[in-house]
Homo-oligomer: A and B are copies of this chain.
Amino acid sequence: DPEPIDLHVPDNYVQHTLRTQKELPPITWSNWWRELQYLTVAILTITPTLALYGVCTTTLRWETALFSVFYYYVTGLGITAGYHRLWAHRSYNASRPLQYFLALAGSGAVEGSIKWWSRGHRAHHRYTDTDLDPYSAHYGFWWSHIGWMLVKPRRKPGVADVSDLSRNEVVRWQHRWYVWLILGMGFALPTLVPGLGWGDWRGGFFFAGALRLTFVHHSTFCVNSLAHWLGSTPFDDKHTPRDHVVTALVTIGEGYHNFHHQFPMDFRNAIKWYQYDPTKWFIMACRAAGLASHLKTFPDNEVRKGQLTMQLKKLRRTQERLEWAPDSNELPVVTWESFQEQSAKRPLILIAGFIHDVAAFLDEHPGGRHLLVKYIGKDATTAFFGGVYDHSNAAHNLLSMHRVGILQHGYRQGADDRAVPPAQRLRIARY
């Protein structure tokens, strides 16, 4: 048995590699043609060209149209449910027949063998957004979508262990016969079915073959580009991955990518039932049919923690942007005599131990000017807190904004809720 390739990786592997490993020079106008990977370029240009030619020259029959869409989902699921969630992330166990089905379906997507694909993808997760990530989103939308495949990798992707896949019989079988499998599943089968089925050989080749493959390609590529670019970050914002329903629609459910990078070994990408994740539904159907088992989920407690943190981050920005009442220790301590004396000059009212200057509020008071004037130089605590009118929490918050002093020996601070404005009873604190 091969031992895991990362077993002896040293403690400073990432920093050391980033610092010392040599890189190929950046792509420029003068060197790009020398740096191209001609096989990938060929596949990714010939396929859409064939598709375009076919669309312009072939009548689309509805049976072929339906079959093409169906085959798009089959080969797409080969990637999402097979390559991605099963082999790259081990998020569930699949029976032998299901594994063969997924390996065959995934071959029809013509994106490299399971082993090659998973090795890159594991590196993508392990070194997300760094130079050891083969499709780092930090180099822009087009790089992560397609650029990284068209030219020679600028660096070796970071170490990622795939010894488990090297031991897997289905993965080995697919790797070995890969060239025949892409020809068979990518072009022969989608030409044969419409050909033998309803005599539409030409439509099969162009629509279910070339056009369908173009869609599958860019659909999968969107997981690396769109999903690192468009949407929200409800679980964590340390890295680029984002959640968006549009990405999900385009990628057979892989669009909840912020969740996925936080919880990569979770067989789900969408956690709510109403979110679009057909890959998850497919896996659940396979479990129901006895073909899949051990569907992994991350503990709900930890998922919610991530969401809570992100919500608190947002609310903390609000908390910081708002103006708050001055605190006891920012205010001058005033004696009763001085309070009386000052009240003759400006409208000061004592409530819950704080002295408030209500000059600006006299004519604004919804309860009327007369009720404020009546309490100038007096303690209005009882009246304010329900004796005359049980003011709203908003009124209490507003009151605190008028604080100008604190009465000496006035109020036992901390003994009473009434000294803390309602909006300041719950605060987001940082540790």
| Among A9-17, A166-174, A203-211, A247-255, the stretch in contact with B | A9-17
Q: Quick one: which of A350-409 are within 8 Å of B by CB?
A: 366, 368, 370-371, 374, 382-383, 386-390, 392-394, 397-398, 401
Most buried by B among A299, A315, A389, A394: A394
Distance in Å: Cβ of A84 to nearest Cβ of chain B: 14
Distance in Å: Cβ of A44 to nearest Cβ of chain B: 31
Contacts A6-B388, A11-B382 given; does A322 touch B308 at CB 8 Å: yes
> Complex Cα distance A422/B90, Å?
26
Contacts A161-B368, A428-B312 given; does A389 touch B262 at CB 8 Å: no
- Verify if A412 is at the interface (C-beta below 8 Å from B): no
Closest to A379 in B: B11
Contact B13 A388 (CB under 8 A): yes
Contact A389 B126 (CB under 8 A): yes
Contact A425 B420 (CB under 8 A): no
Q: Which one of B265, B299, B322, B393 contacts A304 once the chains associate, using CB atoms below 8 Å?
A: B322
Q: Quick one: which of A288-326 are within 8 Å of B by CB?
A: 298-299, 301-306, 308-309, 311-313, 315-316, 318-319, 322-323
Q: Which one of B15, B261, B322 contacts A392 once the chains associate, using CB atoms below 8 Å?
A: B261
> Complex Cα distance A32/B371, Å?
40
Residues of B within 8 A of A9 (CB): 388
Contact B262 A393 (CB under 8 A): yes
Residues of B within 8 A of A392 (CB): 236, 238, 261-262
Q: Quick one: which of A241-290 are within 8 Å of B by CB?
A: 261-265
Residues of B within 8 A of A10 (CB): 387
Residues of B within 8 A of A422 (CB): 236, 309
Contact B430 A428 (CB under 8 A): no
> Complex Cα distance A347/B308, Å?
31
Contact B398 A299 (CB under 8 A): yes
* A interface list, Cβ under 8 A from B: 3-4, 6-7, 9-15, 89-90, 126-127, 161, 164, 235-236, 238, 261-265, 298-299, 301-306, 308-309, 311-313, 315-316, 318-319, 322-323, 366, 368, 370-371, 374, 382-383, 386-390, 392-394, 397-398, 401, 420, 422-431
Given contacts A4-B371, A9-B388, A262-B394, could you give 9 more A-B pairs where the C-beta distance is less than 8 Å?
A7-B370, A11-B387, A12-B382, A13-B387, A127-B390, A235-B394, A238-B392, A305-B394, A309-B426
